[in-house]
Amino acid sequence: MDRWVLYPNEIDFDSGTVSEANFIAASPYKVENAVYSNGEMLFYVQDGAVYDSGGNFVFSFGYDYTMLKEIAVAPLPGSCDTWCLFWLEAYPLTTLEFHFQEVKVVDGAIVPGSGGLINEGELFGSTGGIAVSKPDDNGERMIYLVHYQGIWKYRLQSNGLFLEEMIPSLEGFEWIAEADLSPNGDFLAWGDDNRVCVYNLALEQFYIHSLGTSLSFIFGLEFSADNEYLYICHSEKGLFRWKFNQTDSAPEPVEGSKNFVNTQLELGKDGYIYAVRKDGILGIIGDSGVAISPLDVTVGSSLADPNWDQLFALPDQIDGEVYGSFLGIPTPAIEKFYINGVTVWEVIDEMHPPLLVYNCTPILLNDSVSGAYSGYTIHVYQTDPSSGQQITGPGFLDASFHFADTPPPSIDIRCLNDSINCDLFDNYINPPYNTFAVALLLEGRCESVERIGHIEVQDAPAAADIGLEINDTQTGIPCPAAHDIAQACNSGIYSASINLANSNGDITFYQLAIDEVSCENGSTINNIFTGNPVSVNGVAGLTAIALNALQINGTTGYFADPSWV
């Protein structure tokens, strides 16, 4: 999540700050989690009860705590307003139950949905772990349940949770405090008493390593953001880091972690792996060891079953999830947004000028989109050239165009109103009011996204008229250049030069080429010089060019040497 609740504190990972939670809850507590959408809390869960964002009790759901301190949350696929809670309950005679409960938002209120047992009387044992995958392209997710009998793999769909695969344990997984799925979804990890277990889901391979004595336990596990390491909390020895996918690799102690012996581990949005010291102080694990978090937070999730030592729980996260809206339908995204292949800005200021374009050529909106969406709208409107704010009223452009399909990768904005004449801007280019905003709105079932860019549209520039003249050193009068060899201009070999200043039009660059031609018919014999394009700002930037100053065949003075004749 973008935020965590560690009551009485709320962590905002985007700002890197901590604030006091604005709701009433119990502290200390056993387990806690919360659901946010676009930075706004929708509801939170604490010790078997659901509360709204104001701290008002909504409803309870059954829960037998012991050491089962994971409550996983996932959006219901295909839904904009429903989330599913998953947890385990243990009962005498080693009976384990897997439960779910829907939480819905109806007219802004938090209400319970359907819920109940997923596996009634089918599971053996008293501990287990749960891990949730990122969504696939349809918004569906895999839910992994690790328990004594093995790994049960479920698929969460819009119409329920369905068991897809059972991967049995030949020996039995005895004592499990937490399960974790790597951010890339390739590896599943859990603790089995004092054994650390990793399962490669694609290759169907186990990686197992024992730590400490048989009377010790693995309390916490978390994969690194790059999927390379597994971090481990051991009940006697503290924290370890294990490059699990490397042959003969063993877990290595994390420096300074001997007091981190009874904590779950969790990867935060900021990339740090969080742990809780045995006195309740929140810590962060880095490459050089473990340190106290600069957030200065004390964690209250210390209550446990009286038969067990305290175990600190952290909000169960989905590693690799781009939380954002956290809805059951993939949020639409505009991956690329350019005009004429150039980045355009959402604001206008000195550092972000509008892109200059001309109304005589295509003004192409280049886009690339993803996610689930039902259509798109392009809104083009006139703006104040100094602020970028919309200008409304008679004589100012304000046009929207809706399409119920996927936007093509290139759209000529001029042609949105008329695909033949392409005249959208024709009546609205009135400098200085010739700046416009182009907004692309991608419409999703749950949410929509928009990108805006500003352009300055100019009328077609005046046609360029090349006024090439040869400076006649005999008469001193410039000679207009001609295509007719019979009207060739005279020039001395030492002071030969040309002049472009008699040109007209909106000239932005020139490029000079010199060919040797036949004196009889003007046909080209060979090219002796082709220069690079030279940028100029109008006719005023055009100056005389001394031909002997040009580098030809690696040297200057080409025309001053009579041998070329």
**One domain for residues 115 and 209:** yes
Query: Among 543, 370, 355, 550, which residue's Cα sits nearest to residue 438?
Result: 355
Q: Single out the residue in 212, 246, 267 at which a domain terminates.
A: 267
Reduced 3-state DSSP string for 29-76:
CCCEEEEEECCEEEEEEECCEEEECCCCEEEECCCCCCCCCCCEEEEC
Query: What is the chain's percent helix, strand, coil content, to nearest 5?
Result: 5, 45, 50
Contact 506, 538 (CB under 8 A): yes
Q: Pairing between strand 205-210 and 40-46?
A: unpaired
**One domain for residues 199 and 88:** yes
Is residue 320 classed exposed, middle or buried when 0-12, 13-18 and 19+ CB atoms within 10 A define those classes? middle
Reduced 3-state DSSP string for 330-365:
CCCEEEEEEECCEECCCCCECCECCEEEECCCCCEE
Is residue 537 assigned to a domain? yes
**One domain for residues 66 and 210:** yes
Is residue 351 classed exposed, middle or buried when 0-12, 13-18 and 19+ CB atoms within 10 A define those classes? exposed
**One domain for residues 509 and 445:** no
Cis peptide bond N-terminal to 253, omega within 30: no
Is residue 428 assigned to a domain? yes
Q: Pairing between strand 289-292 and 333-339?
A: unpaired
The residue with tokens 């046009």 is 399
Is residue 383 assigned to a domain? yes
**One domain for residues 422 and 485:** no
User: Residue 352 is part of a domain; what is its CATH number?
Assistant: 2.60.40.10
Using DSSP's 3-state secondary structure scheme, residue 540 falls into helix
Is residue 364 assigned to a domain? yes
Distances (CA, A) of 232 to 178, 189, 190, 263: 11, 10, 10, 10
Using DSSP's 3-state secondary structure scheme, residue 24 falls into coil
**One domain for residues 240 and 347:** no
> What tokens does 364 get?
């192409």
| pLDDT tens, residue by residue, 394-450 | 999 999 999 999 999 999 999 999 999 999 999 999 999 999 999 999 999 888 999
| pLDDT tens, residue by residue, 223-258 | 999 999 999 999 999 999 999 988 889 999 999 999
Please, which residues bridge with residue 51 across strands? 44, 57
Distance CA 476, CA 491 (A): 10
Could you give phi then psi for residue 171, rounded to 5 degrees?
-100, -25
**One domain for residues 89 and 192:** yes
Helix (H) or strand (E) holding 21, with range, is: none
**One domain for residues 451 and 343:** yes
Q: Give every residue of the chain whose pLDDT is below 70, as ranges.
A: 64-67, 120-121, 170, 304-309, 564-565
**One domain for residues 71 and 208:** yes
Contact 88, 31 (CB under 8 A): no
Please, which residues bridge with residue 465 across strands? 504
Contact 73, 90 (CB under 8 A): no
Distance CA 542, CA 505 (A): 12
Contact 74, 143 (CB under 8 A): yes
**One domain for residues 245 and 369:** no
> What tokens does 312 get?
């600190």
**One domain for residues 74 and 97:** yes
Q: Single out the residue in 267, 289, 308 at which a domain terminates.
A: 267
Is residue 346 classed exposed, middle or buried when 0-12, 13-18 and 19+ CB atoms within 10 A define those classes? middle
Contact 19, 12 (CB under 8 A): yes
Q: Single out the residue in 267, 300, 316 at which a domain terminates.
A: 267
Per-residue pLDDT, 218: 94
Is residue 99 assigned to a domain? yes
Is residue 446 assigned to a domain? yes
Distance CA 76, CA 73 (A): 10
- Sorted by sequence, the CB contacts under 8 Å of residue 449 that are 6+ apart come out as 331, 332, 333, 334, 441, 442
Q: Count other Cβ atoms within 10 Å, centred on residue 369.
A: 19
Per-residue pLDDT, 506: 80
Is residue 276 assigned to a domain? no
Is residue 327 assigned to a domain? no
Per-residue pLDDT, 66: 55
Which residue range(s) make up the domain with 122? Answer: 54-267
**One domain for residues 111 and 237:** yes
Distance CA 280, CA 301 (A): 8
Number of domains in the chain: 3
